[in-house]
Amino acid sequence: MRSLVILFVLLGTFTVGTETVSMKPVACQFFTNDNAKKIIGEDVRGVDGDEATPDGGRKWTCTFTAVSSEDGPKVFFMLMRNSSEDAAKRLFEEIRQSNKNHTGFEEWPGVGDEAITHTDGSNFQFLMIRKGLKTIRLKVNPAKGVSMADVKTIASSLASRL
């Protein structure tokens, strides 16, 4: 009985559904505290979230805040894996359509399979990159004093890891 319990614990530890734990993305680790610190400008802490999506995909989130204060900029990061590339394309297109007629919206060619940015300059910066069935969403809020060029550089480096 003891060996059966140990075997169950080992199997439960190393597999989650059909993924191994080592393959399962964790948003805070994927984005990294160093990248969040570059955006926020000081030491940060991140809080992970993880959930299944209705289409059978998965999304992992992380919210980074400054260690010294909750009042400064926050980085909201999401990594999604849709059940198919078509599902990822549809979701990306929904977000594009809902944002494209607003001031500050831009297509971002040459990054992933498709990418967009949207900012109002001081309140928020939003980037979304899709590559295959995976998508990155990154939002900085408030964005006052945060360089969109720096945010794009970080997001582009993450896209190459998808």
Q: What is the pLDDT of residues 149-162, one digit of tens each?
A: 999 999 999 998 98
Residue 18, pLDDT above cutoff 60: no
The torsion angles phi and psi of 131, rounded to 5 degrees, stand at -140, 110
Q: Architecture of domain 25-159 in CATH?
A: 3-Layer(aba) Sandwich (3.40)
Question: Encoding tokens for residue 85?
Answer: 């590339």
pLDDT category at 69 given cuts 50, 70, 90 is confident
CA–CA–CA angle 131, 87, 153 (5° rounding) = 25
Count of residues making up the chain: 162
Model confidence pTM above 0.85: no
pLDDT of residue 13: 32
pLDDT of residue 51: 79
Residue 99: Cβ-neighbour burial (10 angstroms; 0-12, 13-18, 19+): middle
**For the segment 135-154, what is each residue's pLDDT rounded down to a tens digit?**
999 999 988 888 899 999 99
- Domain range annotation of the chain: 25-159
For the chain, list the strands marked E by DSSP. 15-16, 19-20, 44-52, 58-66, 74-81, 105-107, 114-119, 125-131, 134-141
